[in-house]
Amino acid sequence: MIDASELKDSVENENDLVTKEIKTKSLKNIAPSFKNYREEYKYTPFIRRIEKKFSSFNPSSDIKNHEEYRELIPDSEKYYIVIVNGSFLKQISSLPVEIEINNYKGLTKENREIFNSTYSKTDDSNFDIFSTINSIQHQNCLTFRINKSTVLDGKISIYNIVDSKNPVYFRKCFHIGKNSKVSFSEKFIYTSHESYFSNSVTEIFMDENSNLNYFTDQNINKNYHYNSINVFQKKDSISNFHTYSFSGAIIRNNLNIKLTEKNCYANMYGFYAIKNSSHIDNHTSVDHIDESSISNEHYKGIVDKDSNGVFNGKIYVRQKAQKTNAFQANNNILLSDSAKVNTKPQLEIWADDVKCSHGCTVGQLDEDALFYLMSRGISRKDATSLLLSAFSTDITDKIEDEDIRENYELMILRELEELNHE
C-alpha cells in the first residue's frame, strides 16, 4: 500500500531545495519508522483500514470556490485561519497583526532562518510512518511567527478543511518568541461524512518564558485523521494542550513534548466521548531532558457502543533531568459490552531524584451515585448525564480563559447529551 515509486516521484517533483532535502531525508526514514508500526499501532489497524479506501497516498490540491468555505466559519470568530486541503487561503482568513503567517516556500531567506531549525527537525517522521509520509507528501508548510513579547488575548482559530477524496496533508511550523503568550484553537472539518483522510503534522518551537495554549477538537464522523503535534520547549516556557475527540472512523493523535531546558512546564489534557464504531487513539510522550521541569497529563474518556478508546502515554526522564516531577493519569468509563479500552501508561526513567507517577482506571458509572441521585427524584437519564458531565469537568476546569472554557464545556455537554440520548 505504501507505493515507493509514488513517494519517490513526490521527492523528484519538489522544486524548493530545502523542502526537497527534507523529503529526501524522510524517504530514507520509511523503513526505520515502519519498524515501530507494529508496537505503536498495536490497537489501531490504521494502514489496513485506509488501504481499502485509498488507492494512492498522493495528495489533492483541488480547491473550490472560496466562498463555500467561508460559510463554514461561524460569525462569532474574530481571528481565524482557513486552510483547505493543505493550502492556506489568506483571502478568507482574518489575522491579527501581531502574527506573521506565510507559506514556508514564500519566505525570504532571512525569514526562513527562523524556521530552519524546526521545520522537519523536531517532528516524529523518523518514528511514525504517517509523519514520514506527511514529510514526503505535503506541498506547503504553513509558518506561524509570534514575535517576542507578543501577548494576545483571546484565541486564534485554525480551520483545517478537508474537501477531497484523495488524502490531504496539513503541515505547520510555529515559532513562539520569548516572553510571548498566545492561544490557538484548531478544528478539522470534513465536507463529507465518511472516508476522507487527512494527515496533519505540526511542529512548535517555544522560546524562553513563552506561554502557549493549544486546543484541538475532532468530530469527524466516519472520516480518518492522523494528527501529530511536536513541541520543543526552552527554559521557563509553559504549554497547555487540550485535545477533545467525539467521533471518527479512526483518529490517531500523537502529542510529543520535549522539555529541553530547565523549569519547563507542560500540561496535556484530553477528553474523548465516543460511540458507534469510532476509534480514538491518543499517543502522547513527554521527554524530560533537563532538570526541574514539571509535566502533568490527564486524559479521560467515555466509550460507548462499538467504539474503541486507546491511550498510550510515555514519560521519559533522562539522566540529566534531576528534580523532575511527572504525573500522568488516564480514566475511562465503559458504557457498553462491545466497547473496548486499551491503555498503556508507560514510564522510562534514568534519573533518581524524581517524582513520577501514573495511574489509570477502567470502570463504569458509579451505581451508588446513580442510585443516590435517582432517590432524590432525578430520572436515570438525567442522573447519567449529570455524572458523565461531572466526569469531564476535571479536564475543562483546567482551561484558564473563561470564554474558551465555556465554549468547550458547552461542546462537551452537547456531545454527552447525544451519547446518552440513544
Q: Which three cell numbers stand for residue 143?
A: 509558518
Residue 107 sits in the site that holds another protein (CB under 8 A): no
Residue 352 sits in the site that holds another protein (CB under 8 A): yes
Work out how close the CB of 262 gets to another protein at its nearest, in angstroms, rounded to a whole number: 17
For 190, other C-beta atoms within 10 Å of its C-beta total 24
User: Of 336, 390, 406, 410, which one interacts with another protein (CB under 8 A)?
Assistant: 336
The Cα-based distances of 301 to 252, 255, 262 in angstroms read 15, 17, 32
CA atoms within 13 A on the CB side of 260: 13
- What is the total residue count of the chain? 422
The residue among 44 and 223 lying less far from another protein, judged by its C-beta, is 44
Residue 332 sits in the site that holds another protein (CB under 8 A): yes
The residue among 112 and 358 lying less far from another protein, judged by its C-beta, is 358
Residue 366 sits in the site that holds another protein (CB under 8 A): no
Residue 349 sits in the site that holds another protein (CB under 8 A): yes
Residue 94 sits in the site that holds another protein (CB under 8 A): no
CA distance 82 to 92: 7
The residue among 348 and 417 lying less far from another protein, judged by its C-beta, is 348
Query: Of 168, 177, 294, 172, whose CA–CA distance to 220 is shortest?
Result: 168
The residue among 45 and 106 lying less far from another protein, judged by its C-beta, is 45
User: Of 3, 348, 397, 417, which one interacts with another protein (CB under 8 A)?
Assistant: 348
Query: Of 222, 380, 415, whose CA–CA distance to 306 is shortest?
Result: 222
Residue 361 sits in the site that holds another protein (CB under 8 A): yes
The piece of 106-114, 210-218, 257-265, 348-356 that touches another protein (CB under 8 A) is 348-356
For 244, other C-beta atoms within 10 Å of its C-beta total 21
Residues in region 254-273 near another protein by CB under 8 A: none
Burial environment of residue 130 by CB neighbours within 10 A (0 to 12, 13 to 18, 19 or more) = buried
The residue among 156 and 333 lying less far from another protein, judged by its C-beta, is 333
Residue 20 sits in the site that holds another protein (CB under 8 A): no
CA distance 82 to 247: 22
Collapsing DSSP to helix, strand or coil, 217 comes out as: strand
User: Of 113, 194, 353, 406, which one interacts with another protein (CB under 8 A)?
Assistant: 353
Q: What angle do CA 393, 356, 317 make, to 5 degrees?
A: 120
Number of residues that bind another protein (CB under 8 A): 37
Residues in region 30-89 near another protein by CB under 8 A: 39, 43
Q: What angle do CA 399, 155, 415 make, to 5 degrees?
A: 55
Residue ranges binding another protein (CB under 8 A): 39, 43, 317, 319, 322, 332, 334-364
